[in-house]
């Protein structure tokens, strides 16, 4: 299965709170060919519960109805260590979740340095930081063609 985009937890959080990128995320949601890594759902669940935000069940059900859920596959897990190492050359605070999300959106043969761009995003999940962002991979890729990483 191929997807037009992969939504990370920041994209969903921004959409739900009506943030500055909500309309852009909505455009991808409306196209109906997006995927959400299972890890993004776990991050959102943790955020809702940690901050005692109302509406987790509705948010979760919306995500499940409007995107395909992508499991963490062993090749993605296997490549994520190298990806994390490369991400940390640009952003010391990069986490394993960032690497896994990025690898979920990249083709197996790609590398972070060749196919990812860095963007400065606003207060994603309550903090300001630079993150890896695959907006338009320079080579055709499977399973995705784009990754919404705002």
Let me know if residue 146 belongs to a domain: no
The parent domain of residue 27 ranges over 5-133
In a domain, 108, yes or no: yes
Q: Considering its fold, how many domains does the chain have in total? A: 1
In a domain, 119, yes or no: yes
Residue 111, pLDDT above cutoff 80 = no
Locate all alpha helices (DSSP H) within 18-95, ordered by sequence. 22-31, 38-50, 56-66, 74-90
Is 145 a member of any domain?
Answer: no
* Cα(16)–Cα(63) distance, integer angstroms: 10
Task: Show Cβ contacts of residue 108 under 8 Å, excluding neighbours closer than 6 positions.
Answer: 75, 79
- Note whether residue 142 is domain-resident: no
Residue 40 contacts residue 69 (beta carbons within 8 Å)? no
Q: What is the pTM (predicted TM-score) of this model?
A: 0.69
CATH number at residue 123: 3.40.50.1010
Asked if the structure places residue 138 within a domain, the reply is no
pLDDT in tens, 121-149: 333 333 333 333 333 333 333 333 344 44
How many residues in total does the chain contain?
Answer: 150
Q: What percent of the chain has pLDDT over 70?
A: 70
Asked whether residue 148 is assigned to any structural domain, the reply reads no
């Amino acid at each position: 299965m191929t997807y037009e985009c992969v939504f990370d937890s920041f994209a969903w959080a921004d959409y739900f709170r009506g943030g500055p990128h909500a309309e852009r995320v909505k455009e991808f949601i409306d196209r109906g060919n997006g995927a959400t890594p299972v890890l993004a759902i776990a991050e959102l669940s943790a955020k809702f519960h940690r901050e005692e935000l109302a509406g987790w069940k509705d948010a979760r059900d919306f995500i499940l109805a409007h995107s395909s859920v992508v499991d963490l596959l062993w090749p993605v897990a296997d490549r994520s260590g190298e990806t994390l190492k490369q991400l940390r050359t640009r952003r010391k605070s990069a986490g394993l979740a960032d690497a896994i999300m990025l690898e979920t959106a990249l083709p197996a043969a790609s590398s972070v340095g060749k196919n990812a761009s860095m963007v400065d995003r606003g207060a994603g999940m309550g903090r300001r930081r630079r993150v890896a962002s695959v907006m338009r991979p320079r080579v055709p890729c499977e399973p995705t063609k784009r990754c919404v990483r705002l």
